[in-house]
């Protein structure tokens, strides 16, 4: 695309900038509620100026055990991510390198897991967790989310390994390297960016998830997403307090996606091929 | 010697794949199979003594009951319009962002924020903004006489459309990203040929870009359709399926029946019907992709 007039570039940039700002307005609104005094968030007519305050944060910390909520979210999402990668990366590698005619079929099977509406498996899983006594704990959520995520990781890593010629591993194997050595020392380092993309997506999925923990965890194990929902239904919690609490749910994941944008783009576009 | 190496290699790869396959089978497929079993029973956790085999009755109920039929229709309407709008908007944005520059990459990073934010929080934001009394959008609209007095999310005529709007806000950026990747992988020489021939921008789009983009478009459609069909978070938070059943969807119905009323049998049937619909839509879209692929590569 050569020879484009400066005028057109400026026009395109202004358009896209305006659209992006429009997309970000609701986020700004949410963030701003946390710094407004309660009587200025909603007023008829709504007003655009306010005197900033940190009262809402004080309120949020007074009502919620924010640290424990964030810790639950972290345990669930890091646990899910680690387990999904431990299961999914070797499986993706094996399916990509296998010469068996069943290998592509298995890869598509893992992709198909993506289609499952959670509710179809969640109810029997709920009963299963109740029977073995894990219902209400972090483990119940981690076990279920790992199933969904490791299938996704297997498919993603299958396509990453598939795009990588096997020559280097074969050379290492003929040089007397062990099978595990060829996998860990030769194959895995070359797909590092793919693994980071997978980890980012697993983190995002589990951190943002609230349907599964809502039913699978109890009060002391609930993550911040579930707390936000229960807080919403309560009368004495104002919108500002909710906005303050929402900071802890949205800001970490948005920052992660912004700083790891390269991997986000890579993962989102790789997942469709 | 060579033979034994090949065998050892095969065994190694087999062992590497086994844990994931077994895990997904045990935690995913086994509950799914159990769910199919439950769906043939009238089974409520609160009244386990009254469990009885009812054959296909749960499925018959889904398609004959007015509430569930409404949920099916809503799910289809929601999926069709939100994915359709996202495609048009996403394609336009992708074309605007096509030129590779630092500016465009930075804008894309920020544009993606709606797709990374917690969907639950998205629901809360819009619920607050669309409220007729104090919501920053809702107030001005109802003040100007546009939109229902009771609020856009609480009026049966507009609620589902508001949910479609929320979904578009949330997922158009991801659609843009996927289509942009497709645009960037187009063969440069073909596009330059179009420019040399003096084709107008619209002709270039319709005759060159669009046909080449068909596989990307359909893959993006497949992906987003599967997700939109399972919409839950934003609906649950904003309307909870109401007013009446105006915004009830299949996932919402299944979750309410199963995990709130503990109607395990009926909820399992709802889950299976949802899965069946998704599988059907995905298969249809993938068949179209394959045909589009053949048509382009055949040319």
Assign B254 a pLDDT band (cuts: 50, 70, 90): very high
Peptide bond into A190 cis (omega under 30): no
Residue of A nearest to B235 (CA): A211
pLDDT at B296 over 70: no
pLDDT at B270 over 90: yes
Residue of B nearest to A85 (CA): B20
For chain B, the residue count is: 299
pLDDT of residue A154: 94
Treating both helix axes as pointing N-terminal to C-terminal, what angle do A66-97 and A239-259 enclose, rounded to 10 degrees? Answer: 30
Domain residue spans of chain A: 6-54, 58-270
Whether A258 and B110 lie within 8 Å, measured CB to CB = yes
Whether A228 and B124 lie within 8 Å, measured CB to CB = yes
Assign A45 a pLDDT band (cuts: 50, 70, 90): low
pLDDT of residue A21: 93
Tokens coding B177: 């990203």
Question: What number is the average pLDDT over the span A189-212?
Answer: 91
pLDDT at A37 over 60: yes
pLDDT at B105 over 50: yes
**Lowest-confidence range among A269-273, B218-222, B294-298?**
A269-273
Hey, which of A2-6, A57-61, A230-234, B141-145 has the most confident mean pLDDT? A57-61
The answer to whether residue A218 neighbours chain B at the CB level (below 8 Å) is: no
Question: What number is the average pLDDT over the span A120-127?
Answer: 90
The answer to whether the beta carbons of residues A249 and A67 sit under 8 Å apart is no
The answer to whether residue A43 neighbours chain B at the CB level (below 8 Å) is: yes
| Preferred mutation among B1, B6, B12, B17 to probe A, highest tally of A CBs within 10 A | B17
The answer to whether residue A39 neighbours chain B at the CB level (below 8 Å) is: no
Question: What number is the average pLDDT over the span B256-277?
Answer: 92
pLDDT of residue B83: 96
Whether A124 and B35 lie within 8 Å, measured CB to CB = yes
ipTM of the predicted structure?
Answer: 0.89
Q: Say which residues have a Cβ less than 8 Å from residue B236's Cβ, sequence separation at least 6.
A: A211, B123, B252, B255
Residue of B nearest to A232 (CA): B124
The answer to whether residue A179 neighbours chain B at the CB level (below 8 Å) is: yes
Residues of chain A found within 8 Å of residue B114, distances taken between Cβ atoms: 23-24, 26-27
pLDDT at A85 over 50: yes
Q: How many helices (H) and strands (E) does chain B have?
A: 15, 2
DSSP state at residue B231: -
pLDDT tens per residue, range A20-36: 999 999 998 888 888 88
Q: Answer with the residue of higher pLDDT: B288 or B278.
A: B278
pLDDT of residue A271: 55
pLDDT of residue A272: 47
Assign B55 a pLDDT band (cuts: 50, 70, 90): confident
Residue of A nearest to B260 (CA): A215
pLDDT tens per residue, range B176-209: 998 998 888 888 777 777 677 777 888 888 888 8
pLDDT of residue A235: 64
pLDDT of residue A77: 95
d(CA A29, CA A31): 5
Question: What number is the average pLDDT over the span B83-112?
Answer: 92
Cβ atoms < 10 Å from Cβ of A61: 14
Residues of chain A found within 8 Å of residue B104, distances taken between Cβ atoms: 16
How much is the mean pLDDT over chain B? Answer: 86
pLDDT at A48 over 70: no
> What percent of chain A has pLDDT above 70?
92
pLDDT at B299 over 50: no
Whether A273 and B219 lie within 8 Å, measured CB to CB = yes
Residue of B nearest to A112 (CA): B279
- CATH homologous superfamily, domain B39-122+152-298: MetI-like (1.10.3720.10)
Q: Say which residues have a Cβ less than 8 Å from residue A6's Cβ, sequence separation at least 6.
A: none
Cβ atoms < 10 Å from Cβ of B144: 8
Assign B297 a pLDDT band (cuts: 50, 70, 90): low
Residue of B nearest to A250 (CA): B117
For chain A, the residue count is: 273
**Lowest-confidence range among A77-81, A219-223, B18-22, B24-28?**
A219-223
pLDDT at B169 over 90: yes
CB within 8 Å of chain A, chain B residues 191-250: 191-192, 216, 219-220, 223, 226, 229-230, 232-233, 236-237, 250
Assign B290 a pLDDT band (cuts: 50, 70, 90): confident
Q: Answer with the residue of higher pLDDT: B135 or A126.
A: A126
Q: Which helix (H) or strand (E) holds A22?
A: helix A6-33
Hey, which of A226-235, B89-98, B280-289 has the most confident mean pLDDT? B89-98
Rounded to the nearest angstrom, the minimum Cα separation between B97 and chain A is 8
Q: Say which residues have a Cβ less than 8 Å from residue A145's Cβ, sequence separation at least 6.
A: A76, A80, A84, A205, A206, A209, A212
Question: What number is the average pLDDT over the span B86-91?
Answer: 95
Whether A124 and B268 lie within 8 Å, measured CB to CB = yes
User: Topology of domain A58-270, per CATH?
Assistant: MetI-like fold (1.10.3720)
Q: What DSSP line would sit under B253-270, residue for residue?
A: HHHIIIIIS-BHHHHHHH
pLDDT of residue B156: 79
pLDDT of residue B167: 95
Cβ atoms < 10 Å from Cβ of B39: 25
pLDDT at B74 over 70: yes
Tokens coding A235: 């009368």
The answer to whether residue A204 neighbours chain B at the CB level (below 8 Å) is: yes
Assign B7 a pLDDT band (cuts: 50, 70, 90): confident
Cα A107 to chain center, whole Å?
Answer: 22
Question: What number is the average pLDDT over the span A132-142?
Answer: 90
Which residues of chain B form beta strands (DSSP E)?
41-42, 52-53
Residues of chain A found within 8 Å of residue B198, distances taken between Cβ atoms: none
pLDDT at A5 over 50: yes
Assign A61 a pLDDT band (cuts: 50, 70, 90): confident
DSSP state at residue A46: -
Q: Dmax of chain A from CA atoms? A: 77
């Amino acid at each position: 695309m050569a020879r484009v007039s400066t005028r057109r570039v400026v026009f395109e940039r202004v358009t896209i900038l305006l659209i992006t700002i429009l997309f970000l307005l609701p986020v700004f609104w949410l963030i701003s509620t946390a710094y407004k005094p309660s009587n200025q968030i909603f007023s008829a007519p709504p007003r655009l100026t306010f005197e900033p305050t940190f009262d809402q944060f004080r309120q949020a910390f007074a009502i919620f055990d924010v640290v424990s909520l964030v810790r639950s979210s972290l345990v669930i999402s890091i646990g899910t991510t680690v387990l999904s990668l431990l299961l999914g990366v070797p499986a993706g590698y094996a399916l990509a390198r296998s010469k068996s005619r069943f290998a592509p079929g298995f890869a598509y099977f893992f992709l198909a897991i993506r289609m499952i509406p959670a509710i179809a498996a969640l109810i029997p899983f709920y009963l299963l967790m109740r029977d073995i006594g894990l219902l209400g704990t972090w483990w119940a959520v981690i076990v279920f989310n790992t199933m969904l995520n490791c299938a996704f990781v297997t498919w993603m890593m299958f396509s990453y390994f598939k795009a990588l010629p096997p020559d280097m591993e074969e050379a290492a194997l003929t040089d007397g390297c062990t099978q595990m050595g060829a996998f860990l020392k030769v194959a895995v380092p070359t797909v590092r960016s793919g693994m980071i993309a997978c980890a980012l997506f697993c983190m995002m999925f589990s951190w943002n998830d609230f349907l599964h923990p809502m039913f699978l965890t109890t009060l002391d194990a609930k993550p911040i997403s579930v707390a936000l929902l229960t807080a919403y239904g309560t009368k004495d919690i104002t919108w500002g307090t909710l906005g303050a609490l929402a900071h802890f749910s949205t800001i970490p994941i948005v920052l992660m996606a912004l700083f790891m944008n390269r991997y986000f783009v890579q993962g989102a576009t790789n997942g469709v091929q | 010697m060579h033979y034994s190496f090949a065998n050892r290699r095969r065994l190694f790869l087999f062992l590497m794949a086994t844990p994931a396959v077994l895990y997904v089978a045990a935690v995913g497929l086994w509950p799914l199979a159990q769910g199919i079993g439950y769906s043939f029973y009238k089974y409520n956790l609160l009244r386990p003594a009254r469990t009885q085999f009812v054959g296909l009755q749960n499925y018959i109920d889904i398609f004959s009951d007015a509430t569930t039929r409404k949920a099916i229709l809503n799910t289809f309407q929601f999926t069709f319009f939100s994915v359709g709008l996202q495609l048009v908007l996403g394609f336009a944005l992708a074309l605007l962002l096509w030129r590779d520059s630092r500016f465009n990459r930075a804008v894309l990073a920020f544009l993606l924020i709606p797709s990374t934010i917690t969907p639950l929080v998205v629901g809360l934001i819009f619920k607050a903004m669309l409220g007729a009394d104090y919501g920053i959008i809702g107030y001005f609209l109802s003040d100007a006489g546009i939109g229902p007095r009771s609020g856009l999310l609480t009026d049966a005529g507009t609620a589902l459309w508001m949910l479609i709007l929320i979904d578009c806000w949330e997922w158009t950026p991801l659609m843009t990203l996927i289509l942009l990747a497709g645009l960037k992988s187009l063969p440069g020489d073909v596009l330059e040929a179009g420019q040399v021939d003096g084709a107008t921008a619209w002709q270039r789009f319709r005759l060159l870009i669009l046909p080449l983009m068909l596989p990307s478009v359909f893959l993006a459609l497949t992906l987003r359709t599967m997700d939109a069909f399972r919409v839950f978070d934003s609906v649950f938070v904003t309307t909870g399926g109401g007013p009446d059943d105006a915004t009830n969807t299949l996932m919402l119905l299944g979750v309410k029946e199963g995990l709130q009323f503990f109607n395990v049998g009926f909820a399992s049937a709802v889950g299976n019907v949802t899965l069946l619909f998704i599988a059907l839509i995905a298969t249809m879209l993938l068949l179209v992709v394959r045909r589009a692929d053949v048509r382009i590569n055949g040319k």
